[in-house]
């Protein structure tokens, strides 16, 4: 029986599907659908009437007037279910369709946060993708003490921040989310290479928090001075965004507490690992990676796969990186 692909452009049209991977879930699809500047769609592979794989694809529109500023990407390589076909064969079908669907519309195609760096290697190459090494940082949460491998300076900062009046909390109202977003927007404004979703992402995540994740906030004298966003998938927690007003409130260490609060919550709710979504390139100095490594995580090598719309540039980059 052949593999059949179905494309869903709206979360409300997606039938009940198995799976526990948040990055390919209907719940995250719905959250992204409410985010201005983002167009998600879900690809589902069927064998007969049974779903055997799914891939959530995200296209991010840029405010730049140049069309090639659009990019389409996926977190990981999809989620798969029992089938008579090998998992990589199903992925080949999804990858080929993804590439045909977006190669002419988006300047850049990307597969990020790969759990298995070698999975689908030959199919990526057959579809014209090239790999670039990336780093992942993952913390184990099942030690006797959460701060077992944490640096001494980081432990001191957490202690001092709490002692100086900072409070870790979870966003519970839209007013919390609005204040958190305003703080985060100010934090991200000078970081032009970092992407901050529209506020619709955060408000929808609040209403779907039991399914997708949590927004953590750091309060000081009833003002939100820091926070983070964490997604949960299976036994793993993923830090998607974090920030704090460290220059205005240096004695409260809001950026440190934003990460620490998310880690504590993940441990208390039974998650086994805590991963930082973005740890940068291995051959480039990256301040955020140095920051998160002080929480005691393990640095691991991974890769991302890219495809550029301009054929001559894609061929050049392939020669450089393959």
Q: Which residues contact 239 (CB under 8 A, 6 or more apart)?
A: 228, 229, 230, 259, 262, 274, 275, 276, 277
Do 93 and 58 share a structural domain?
yes
Do 287 and 177 share a structural domain?
yes
pTM recorded for the entire structure:
0.91
Do 180 and 89 share a structural domain?
no
Q: Supply 124's token pair.
A: 């990526």
Which pLDDT band holds residue 19 (cuts at 50, 70, 90)?
very high
Residue 227 and residue 258 in contact, taking contact as beta carbons nearer than 8 Å: yes
Provide the domain limits for residue 162.
137-301
Helix and strand element counts for the chain (H, E): 9, 13
- What would the pLDDT profile of 199-246 be if each residue is shown by its tens digit? 999 999 998 756 688 999 999 999 999 999 999 998 999 999 888 998
**Residue 312 lies inside a defined structural domain of this protein:** no
The structural domain count of the chain equals 2
- What would the pLDDT profile of 156-188 be if each residue is shown by its tens digit? 999 999 999 999 999 999 999 999 999 988 877
- What would the pLDDT profile of 53-94 be if each residue is shown by its tens digit? 999 999 997 654 444 478 999 999 999 999 999 999 999 999
Q: Which residues contact 113 (CB under 8 A, 6 or more apart)?
A: 23, 75, 76, 136, 277, 302
Do 228 and 115 share a structural domain?
no
In this structure, of 252-256, 301-305, 307-311, the range with the lowest mean pLDDT score is: 301-305
Do 96 and 215 share a structural domain?
no
Q: At residue 79, what are phi and psi to the nearest 5 degrees?
A: -130, 140
Do 151 and 291 share a structural domain?
yes
Do 275 and 166 share a structural domain?
yes
- Residue 246: C-alpha distances to residues 189, 226, 321 (Å): 15, 8, 38
Q: Supply 310's token pair.
A: 């301009």
CA 69, 100, 315, 306 dihedral sign is positive
pLDDT score recorded for residue 192: 47
């Amino acid at each position: 029986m052949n593999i059949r692909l179905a494309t869903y452009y709206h979360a409300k049209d997606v039938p009940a599907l198995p799976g526990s991977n948040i990055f390919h879930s209907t719940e995250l699809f719905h959250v992204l659908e409410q985010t201005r500047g983002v167009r998600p769609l879900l690809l589902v592979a069927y064998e007969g009437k049974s779903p055997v794989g799914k891939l959530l694809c995200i296209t991010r529109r840029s405010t730049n007037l140049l069309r090639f500023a659009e990019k389409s990407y996926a977190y990981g390589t999809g989620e798969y279910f029992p089938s008579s076909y090998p998992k990589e064969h199903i992925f080949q079908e999804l990858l080929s369709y993804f590439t045909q669907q977006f190669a002419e519309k988006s300047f850049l195609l990307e597969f990020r946060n790969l759990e298995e760096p070698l999975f689908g290697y030959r199919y990526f190459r057959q579809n014209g993708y090239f790999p670039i090494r990336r780093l992942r940082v993952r913390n184990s949460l099942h030690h006797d003490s959460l701060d077992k491998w944490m640096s001494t300076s980081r432990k001191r900062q957490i202690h001092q921040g709490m002692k100086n009046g900072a409070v870790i909390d979870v966003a519970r109202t839209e007013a919390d989310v609005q204040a958190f977003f305003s703080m985060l927007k100010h934090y991200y404004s000078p970081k032009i290479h970092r992407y901050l979703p529209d506020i619709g992402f955060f408000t929808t995540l609040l209403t779907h928090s039991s399914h997708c994740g949590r927004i953590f906030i750091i309060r000081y004298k009833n003002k939100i001075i820091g926070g983070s966003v964490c997604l949960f998938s299976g036994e793993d927690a993923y830090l998607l965004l974090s920030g704090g007003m460290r220059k205005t409130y240096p004695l409260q260490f809001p950026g440190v507490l934003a990460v620490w609060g998310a880690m504590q919550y993940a441990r208390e709710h039974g998650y086994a690992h805590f991963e930082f979504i973005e740890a940068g390139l291995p051959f480039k100095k990256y301040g955020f990676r140095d920051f998160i490594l002080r929480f005691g995580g393990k640095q691991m090598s991974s890769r991302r796969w890219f495809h550029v719309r301009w054929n001559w540039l894609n061929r050049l980059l392939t020669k450089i990186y393959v």
